[in-house]
Amino acid sequence: MAANREGQEENKDRYYKTLHGNKTLLQSEKLYEYILETSVYPREPQCLKEIRELTDKHPWSAMMTAPDEAQFLSMLLKLINAKNTMEIGVFTGYSLLATALAIPDDGKILALDITKEHYEKGLPIIQKAGVAHKIDFREGPALPLLDQLIQDEKYHGTFDFVFVDADKNNYINYHKRLIELVKVGGVIGYDNTLWGGSVVAQPDADLDELILGWRDSVQELNKALAVDPRIEICQLSIADGVTLCRRIG
């Protein structure tokens, strides 16, 4: 990949247009649209719609959590009575807002992203929805912060739910820490674990550099999660693939 920032931006643009050129991993876009039109959009809160429409104009719009996935996360959070959560990778805050709407009024979300530029675009909408007080946003790379939390015993096992939707090459590093921070019985969700379907592409397939670059990380992560005895897993084919990990030990 190009070393300079401009080159990286270019690559990102290409990636987000190609990988997510296929809007779905399902057998047809029509089927995906059916799910959205029948069960998702009619139920989508106005504020989420607003963030989605704002984000659609962004060149990296494909990075946004899919609306069907956000609906699923929202239901999951309610089903497990989540109160203390974490999100790594915020972008404009679509899944963050979905989370904030799902947890109780005294619920908390520790939200991490290397930049607050996009978060600040979504924040007014989150504020208007009356749930911004639940969010503790930290700008910067996640690993140093996780290491800080890990150092203090009192944070171990304190999170009900953690959602990771960030740099795939670091997922396995996040996992080493998150497994201590999430409570026993709690859930970590890793996003994009089917990576546009590239996990089964032929080795010599003509894939974008960025996709290829992270594909190995995703495949390694999937293998590692599958054999981790401290969790039970479920790899859901919703959106770009999300693997739920329930801590058992």
**What residues line the site for other proteins (CB under 8 A)?**
22, 24-28, 30-31, 33-35, 38-40, 42-43, 68, 71-72, 75-76, 78-80, 187, 194, 197, 199-200, 222-223, 225-227, 232-238, 241, 243-244, 246
Measured torsion, CA atoms of residues 59, 171, 247, 111, in degrees rounded to the nearest 10? -50
Q: How far is the CB of 163 from other proteins (least distance, A)?
A: 15
| Cβ proximity to other proteins, 114 vs 248, nearer residue | 248
Q: How far is the CB of 145 from other proteins (least distance, A)?
A: 27
Q: How far is the CB of 4 from other proteins (least distance, A)?
A: 35
Considering only CA atoms, which of 249, 97, 229, 232 is closest in space to residue 163?
A: 97
DSSP 201-244: S-TT----HHHHHHHHHHHHHHHHHHH-TTEEEEEE-STT-EEE
DSSP 8-class letter at 57:
T
| Cβ proximity to other proteins, 16 vs 72, nearer residue | 72
Q: How far is the CB of 137 from other proteins (least distance, A)?
A: 27
DSSP 59-88: TTGGGSPPHHHHHHHHHHHHHTT--EEEEE
- Residues 11, 204 contacting (CB under 8 angstroms): no
- Residues 161, 88 contacting (CB under 8 angstroms): no
Q: How far is the CB of 219 from other proteins (least distance, A)?
A: 8
| Cβ proximity to other proteins, 146 vs 225, nearer residue | 225
H-helix segments, 87-170: 94-102, 119-128, 142-151
| Cβ proximity to other proteins, 149 vs 187, nearer residue | 187
| Cβ proximity to other proteins, 54 vs 189, nearer residue | 189
Give the Cα separation of 126 and 93 in Å (integer).
Answer: 8
| Cβ proximity to other proteins, 8 vs 39, nearer residue | 39
Q: How far is the CB of 143 from other proteins (least distance, A)?
A: 25
